[in-house]
Amino acid sequence: MRGFKTGATMRVSIQFKSNGTLHGDIMLTFDGERCHADSYFFAIDPAWFPNLETGETKAQSALRKLLQIAHQHLCDLAQSQSVYVPYDLSDECSAWLRCTRDGDSVTVMRGWTNRGCLFPSVAVTMMKDLQEFDSFGVELRIEREAFLKCLETSICDLQASIDDSD
């Protein structure tokens, strides 16, 4: 295990950032590092929120829904099982967080797969069984309740941003 870190003080968040385009960016904060990802596939997913116009509100709504599904999977996660949370859905590949239950903790690892051009409505079907996941960087060990709280904060922040845009 490279770069293994412990403690509930490690913050993981997934947020939406407006960038002056029609769909904005998704920003992952992981162990103090920030990674920006394009939200294009979130903004154009035909299966989720079909009545919303393509744009920031649709991208934020899709990201919120994806995080809500991830939160539920993490609540139901049995010992040693993993759930994969996508945060970057791009043309060529996709980036994910592998979250594995370890007692009262969760180990979280960033990684990617060569599966690209995924809508979030398709990506959620892969959350429990992602094939060809290649990990990179440090692995964080976070208290499970603290990690769930991080996701809840991200979900609430997204909802507040959506409400502000109405």
Contact 83, 110 (CB under 8 A): no
State pTM to two decimals: 0.91
CA–CA distance, 34 with 12 (Å, rounded to integer): 10
At residue 166 the predicted structure's pLDDT band, cuts being 50, 70 and 90, is: low
CA–CA distance, 160 with 150 (Å, rounded to integer): 15
Q: Please check the confidence at residue 165 and state whether its pLDDT lies above 90.
A: no
CA–CA distance, 28 with 36 (Å, rounded to integer): 7
5 phi and psi, to 5 degrees?
Answer: -125, 150
> What digits encode the pLDDT tens for the residues 24-82?
999 999 988 999 999 999 999 999 999 998 899 999 999 999 999 999 999 999 999 99
Q: What structural domains and CATH numbers belong to the chain?
A: 12-165 (3.30.2450)
